[in-house]
Amino acid sequence: MTSATVSHSESAAASPVLAGQNRIRLLGLIFSVVFFAIATKLAITSAIAPVSEPPGEVVAAAGRIPRPDIVDRNGNVLATDVAVASLYADPRKILDIDEAVELITAALPDIDAKMLDTRLRQPGRAFIWLKRQVSPEERDTVFNLGIPGVAYVNERRRVYPQGRLAAQTLGYVDVDNRGIAGIERYLDDAGAIYTASLLEPGKDKAAPAELALDIRVQHALTDELQMAMTKFKAIAAGGIVMNVETGEIVALTSLPDYNPNAEEKKIGRDQQNRMLSGVYELGSVIKAVTFSMAFDYGVVTMESKFDARTPLVIGSARINDFHAQRRVLALPEVFTYSSNIGTAKMALEVGVERHKAFLERVGLLDKLTTEVPETARPLLPKRWGRLVSATAAFGHGFAVQPLQGLNVVAGLLNGGKMLQPTFLKRSKEEADVLARQIVREETSAHMRELFRLNATDGSAAKADVIGYRVGGKTGTAEKVVNGRYSSLKSLATFIGAFPMEKPKYALIVMLDEPQATPETFGFATSGWNAVPTAGKIIARIAPILGIDPVFTAADREKLAKQAKEKKQG
């Protein structure tokens, strides 16, 4: 009885204490809920910070799979993504739009205040971009303003560490990191499967896209073309270096170019990739195709002769030679003197239909495509007759891409194997599987002999770099101005290869409207500008490409003479 009484008294005494503790716990719970609600509200309307559930536009911008890096054949980075912030606003959460506009435009002067004010006041608008891909300084400046309803999201920006080098080949992306041109567009279009298939395990980024480009060769090519463009006051210049055994494009330059890192890229007609998206009459360079055709059809031999004493008359047209010899020319002389008369007579012996068939065989009548989407279709005569065939034989009357012309000549010199050019790395074994025989090996051997002869005794002599056995063909074509050929404006072209006993690399050099200089004695033809430019390029890139010089006794004499002249000078 006593024990029970004591227990009841202790319980009664403890009740007020327990009741107080319960009230404290309840108040704590209520306070926590209220605090959490306030904190959540503040987080939503707080100053700039990434939010936990951003609008769909922001999610889409931030959630794209990163683009793969683009690297050259040696692993040098040509294009990559870097993290950047982009500013946006939810107008519904901005307390004072006038103040917000004033503060934001003061921090970001390139934003138009009137336009921003209009966009922020649009009824029901829940999201607007303020500025995409801002610098860390701009992001922090806006952060410190403390404007409710303004936030940022981390995105990716494409950067090109090599700047302008190979800009037209690489292309560029838009503000949403989508490929717009060049290899960048290829990675989004035909290369989308390529990109997705190279996702590395455990990583959110594709393996790099390896190009055939060699940035060292690219630099040398661009540098020499830029100097030539300035020296000869040309309005544009371009060049390509190709591996004739694999079809790989090792370097491609088109000037003027552009800076792919610039926010506002000035890309007009002048900045187009002339080597792919432009078509030009390549002039006498095309004679290499005509000679190959005549050899392959068996209508000429190295001992053939052609009467070039008088102009060739077809109907009312008269075909003349620029370097007229006014005599009977042996076939090698037709090549080294670049005789229009002799070359046209070859085409006439072949015949119109077989001429067209050969041009189709080597791919000059079709559009050439590569991974770079910017590409042009050849401009061809509507009707083929004897006169058209005769003039087409020396490059007059039809226009092709410079890469297309280079690719055909490469196929004529490498044993007669035509390859589809590629900007991606390709092994010789892979190339051999893809090769298509276009002429006999004997024909190719004859062409190598003629190309080399033209560099030792003909119009390509200024490209003959001692030790590298260069061969080549020149071409100077009058440009069409207002529907007529102009004798005052021309396109100078050189296509060459080295070493000629077994060519490994071929190149094309073009100068658009080069001007005569005192050094060229008033001439503006290819042999005085594009050819020496090519020689300088070869001298710089041959050692980079691993081509060892081989010096004959005559070469050593020339080197000794040059050293003596340099010392005396």
Q: Which residues span the domain enclosing 236?
A: 217-259+273-568
Domain match, 206 and 228 both: no
Domain match, 282 and 189 both: no
User: Does the residue 29 lie in any domain?
Assistant: no
From the list 478, 462, 420, 448, the residue with the least C-alpha distance to 282 is 478
* C-alpha separations of 138 from 38, 89, 142, 559 in Å: 29, 15, 6, 59
> What is residue 552's predicted lDDT score, i.e. its pLDDT?
87
> What is residue 4's predicted lDDT score, i.e. its pLDDT?
39
User: Does the residue 31 lie in any domain?
Assistant: no
User: Does the residue 380 lie in any domain?
Assistant: yes
Any idea which residues carry the catalytic annotation? 284
Residue ending a domain, choose from 210, 229, 247: 210
Q: How many CB atoms lie within 10 A of CB 538?
A: 26
Number of domains in the chain: 2
Residue ending a domain, choose from 171, 186, 210: 210
- Beta strands 505-512 and 236-243 are antiparallel
Domain match, 203 and 229 both: no
Domain match, 198 and 344 both: no
For 481-505, give one letter per residue: b (16+ CB within 10 A) or e: eeeeeeeeebbbbbbbbbbbeebbb
Write the CATH number for 128.
3.90.1310.10
User: Does the residue 144 lie in any domain?
Assistant: yes
Domain match, 205 and 225 both: no
Residue segments in the chain with a per-residue pLDDT below the cut of 70: 1-65, 190-205, 569
Instruction: Please compute Rg for the chain using Cα positions.
Output: 35
> What is residue 569's predicted lDDT score, i.e. its pLDDT?
66
Token reading at 244:
């004739």
- Residues 365 and 382: their CA atoms lie apart, in Å, by 12
User: Does the residue 81 lie in any domain?
Assistant: yes
> What is residue 161's predicted lDDT score, i.e. its pLDDT?
96
Residue 407: enclosing H or E segment and its boundaries? helix 402-413
Write phi, then psi, for 502 (nearest 5 degrees). -155, 85
Domain match, 504 and 395 both: yes
User: Does the residue 37 lie in any domain?
Assistant: no
Q: Residue with structure tokens 């033809």?
A: 525
* C-alpha separations of 496 from 314, 362, 415, 444 in Å: 32, 18, 15, 14
> What is residue 44's predicted lDDT score, i.e. its pLDDT?
41
Domain match, 141 and 234 both: no
pLDDT digits (tens, 9 = 90+) for 215-255: 999 999 999 999 999 999 999 999 999 999 999 999 999 99
Domain match, 446 and 521 both: yes
Domain match, 235 and 293 both: yes
Domain match, 239 and 90 both: no
pTM over 0.75: yes
User: Does the residue 500 lie in any domain?
Assistant: yes
Write phi, then psi, for 529 (nearest 5 degrees). -135, -60
User: Does the residue 318 lie in any domain?
Assistant: yes
> What is residue 65's predicted lDDT score, i.e. its pLDDT?
60
Report whether 432 contacts 383 (CB < 8 A): no
Domain match, 163 and 278 both: no
Tally the C-alpha atoms within 13 A of residue 488's C-alpha that lie toward its C-beta: 2
Write the CATH number for 402.
3.40.710.10
Domain match, 204 and 242 both: no
> What is residue 18's predicted lDDT score, i.e. its pLDDT?
44
> What is residue 369's predicted lDDT score, i.e. its pLDDT?
94
